[in-house]
Amino acid sequence: MPLNSDPNCIFCKIVAGQIPSTQVHRDESVMAFNDIRPLAPTHILVIPLEHVTFVNQTRAEDEKLIGHMVRVGGSVAQKAGIEKSGYRISINQGRDAGQELDHLHLHVLGGRPLGRSA
């Protein structure tokens, strides 16, 4: 596991290879993989390799990481062939927003009209 990981976190276990995933991208700071419960034809998660729980727990030096996550989101959308029709990148924070796992991640959704969100 990475230096900053949570042994009980499902995403940390995916990063460590303890839980399989359909990986579509990995580099020195993030990985992206297909969501196992997709909400759209394309539903890819982008997560930092190190365990970060919430956006409001990031530090100024994490700005590069957050920006990189968004750039990777755009890159995997392009690889998935949804960049021209459109896609959504979202970060859910807290239970009311639909965050199910306490490891910072962003969703890349597309492949169908998504409509407006709240």
Please pick, among 51, 103, 105, 107, the residue that the annotation labels catalytic: 105
Residue 4 has pLDDT above 90, yes or no: no
Judge whether 102 lies within some domain: yes
Q: What are residue 33's phi and psi, to 5 degrees? A: -155, 160
Confirm whether 79 is domain-assigned.
Answer: yes
Compute φ and ψ for 40, nearest 5 degrees: -155, 165
CATH code at position 102: 3.30.428.10
**Neighbouring residues of 35: CB distance < 8 A, sequence distance ≥ 6:** 43, 44, 45, 107
Q: Which two tokens stand for residue 50?
A: 């190190």
Q: Write down the pTM of the prediction.
A: 0.92
Asked if 105 is an active-site residue, the reply is: yes
Per the model's pLDDT, the better-predicted residue between 39 and 58 turns out to be 39
Look at residue 55 and give its three-state secondary structure.
helix
What value does the mean pLDDT of the chain take? Answer: 92
Cβ atoms within 10 Å, residue 101: 14
Whether residue 115 lies inside any domain: the answer is no
Domain that holds residue 101: 10-110
